[in-house]
Amino acid sequence: MFGKRIALISMLLMLSMILGGCDTAAPQSPTVPNVQNENSQTGIEPGKTVNPGQDTMTMTVYFATKDAANLISEKYVVPKNSHPAQTAMELLIAGTKNPDLVAVFPAGTKLRNISVKDHIAYVDFNDSLVKNNKGGSALEILLVGAIVNTLTEFHDIQKVQILVEGKKIDTISGHMDIGEPLSRSEKIIKKSK
Amino acid sequence: MRRFRSAFLSLLFLMLFLVPQVGMAALNDNRPGAKPAAAITSLKATALSQTKLSGNNQLINVRWLVHKDAVEGTSKLRLVIDTKDAVRVSSKLDGTKGSQLVIDINGAAVGNVNDLVDLDGKIADKVRFIKKDNTNSQVIVDLSTMIEDSDYKVFTLKSDAINNKTFRVVIDVNQVVPKVEYNFTAGLRNKVIAIDPGHGGSDPGAIGPNKLQEKTVTLAVAQKVQALLEKAGAKVLMTRKTDVDVFGPNASAVDELNARTLGANNNKADVFVSLHINAFTSPSVGGTATYYYQKSNYDILLANCIQDNLVKTGGLQDRGINAAGFYVIKKTKMPSVLAELGFISNPDEEKLLSTPQFQQKLAQGIVQGLDDFFAQAARKGGGL
Q: Which ipTM did the prediction report?
A: 0.81
Q: Name the residue among B111, B106, B130 with its Cα closest to residue B60.
A: B111
Residue percentage of chain B with pLDDT more than 90: 74
Q: How far apart are the first and last CA of chain B?
A: 45
Residue of chain A whose Cα is closest to the Cα of B31: A184
Strongest mean pLDDT among B251-260, B285-294, B373-382: B285-294
Q: Do A175 and B276 touch (CB under 8 A)?
A: yes
Contact B285, B320 (CB under 8 A): no
- Structure confidence at residue B97 (pLDDT): 86
| pLDDT the model gives residue B329 | 96
pLDDT at A35 over 50: no
| Predicted pLDDT at A31 | 36
Integer Cα distance of B290 and A136 in angstroms: 13
Contacts of A169 in chain B (CB under 8 A): 253
Other CB atoms within a 10 A radius of the CB of residue A187 amount to 15
So what's the pLDDT on residue B305?
98
Nearest residue, CB atoms, B68 vs list A20, A180, A186: A180
Strands B136-143 and B192-197: unpaired
CB A75 within 8 A of CB A31: yes
Question: Average model confidence (pLDDT) for chain B?
Answer: 87
Angle at Cα B62 formed by Cα B58 and Cα B67, nearest 5°? 145
Our measurement of the distance from residue B304's CA atom to the centroid of its chain's CA atoms, rounded to an integer in Å, reads 16
pLDDT in tens, B335-360: 999 999 999 999 999 999 999 999 99
Nearest by CB: A21 against B27, B254, B338: B27
Asked if the C-beta of A148 comes within 8 angstroms of chain B's C-beta atoms, the answer is yes
- Once rounded to an integer, what is the mean pLDDT over residues A150-163? 96
Nearest Cα residue to A162 out of A126, A189, A134: A126
Mean pLDDT confidence for A22-48:
38
For residue B38, pLDDT over 70 is answered with: no
Nearest C-alpha neighbor of B225 from the set B198, B185, B194: B194
Q: Find the mean pLDDT for residues B161-181.
A: 89
> Which candidate in B29, B30, B170 is best for mutational testing of the A interface (most A CBs within 10 A)?
B30
Average pLDDT over residues A52-60: 89
Q: Are B362 and B355 in contact (CB under 8 A)?
A: no
A68/B285 touch (CB, cutoff 8 Å), yes or no: yes
How many Å lie between the alpha carbon of B279 and the closest alpha carbon of chain A? 4
* pLDDT computed for residue A39 by the predictor: 38
Candidates B214, B340, B349, B350; catalytic one: B340
CA distances from B178 to A162, B294, B296 (A): 28, 10, 8
A191 vs B365, higher pLDDT: B365
pLDDT given for residue B52 in this prediction: 58
pLDDT at position B7: 52
Q: How does pLDDT run across A89-105, given as a tens digit for each residue?
A: 999 999 999 999 999 99
Q: Is A175 within 8 Å of B338 (Cβ atoms)? A: yes
Nearest CA distance, B191 vs chain A (angstrom): 26
Q: How confident is the model at residue A28 (pLDDT cuts 50, 70, 90)?
A: very low
Chain B residues near residue A67 by CB distance under 8 angstroms: 285
What pLDDT shows up at residue B5? 53
B236: DSSP letter: E
Q: Å from A47 to nearest chain B CA?
A: 31
**Average model confidence (pLDDT) across chain A:** 81
pLDDT band at B54 (very low <50, low <70, confident <90, very high): low
- pLDDT exceeds cutoff 90 at A130: yes
Least confident span in B108-117, B235-244, B336-345? B108-117
φ/ψ (deg, to 5) at B25: -65, -25
Q: State the Rg of chain A over Cα.
A: 16
In the predicted structure, residue B375 carries a pLDDT above the cut 90: yes
The answer to whether residue B178 scores a pLDDT higher than 50 is yes
pLDDT band (50, 70, 90) for residue A30: very low
Give the pLDDT confidence of B126-157 residue by residue, as tens digits.
Answer: 999 999 998 999 999 999 999 999 999 999 99
SS (H, E, C) A53-80: CCCEEEEEEEEEECCCCCEEEEEEEEEC
Q: Is the CB of A167 inside 8 Å of chain B's CB atoms? A: no
Instruction: Give pLDDT, residue A50.
Output: 65
Provide the pLDDT for residue B102: 97
What mean pLDDT comes out for the span B366-370?
Answer: 98
B340 classed as catalytic: yes
Mean pLDDT of B217-246: 97
What ranges make up the beta strands (E) of B109-191?
Answer: 116-118, 124-133, 136-143, 152-157, 167-174
Look at phi and psi of residue A108 and say left if phi exceeds 0, alpha if psi is from -120 to 50, else beta.
left
The whole-number average pLDDT for the span A137-149 is: 97
Summarize the confidence of residues B43-70 as an average pLDDT. 74
B62–chain A Cβ distance below 8 A for any pair = no
Q: Which of B203, B281, B338 sits opposite A134 (nearest CB)?
A: B281
Window 126-155 of B: residues touching A by CB (8 A cutoff) are none
How far is B23 from chain A, CA to nearest CA, in Å?
A: 10
CA distance A175 to chain B (A): 5
d(CA B30, CA B28): 5
In the predicted model, what is the mean pLDDT of residues B297-318?
97
Which chain A residues touch B162 with a CB distance below 8 Å?
Answer: 19-21, 25
- Span B77-93, mean pLDDT? 95
Give me the residue from B71, B279, B291 closest to A139, CB to CB: B279
Which chain A residue lies closest to B209 (C-alpha atoms)?
A134
B51 φψ region: left (φ > 0), alpha (ψ -120 to 50), beta (else): alpha
% residues pLDDT > 70 (chain A):
73
pLDDT of residue A80: 95
Give the residue-averaged pLDDT of B353-375.
98
Q: Is the pLDDT of residue A72 over 60?
A: yes
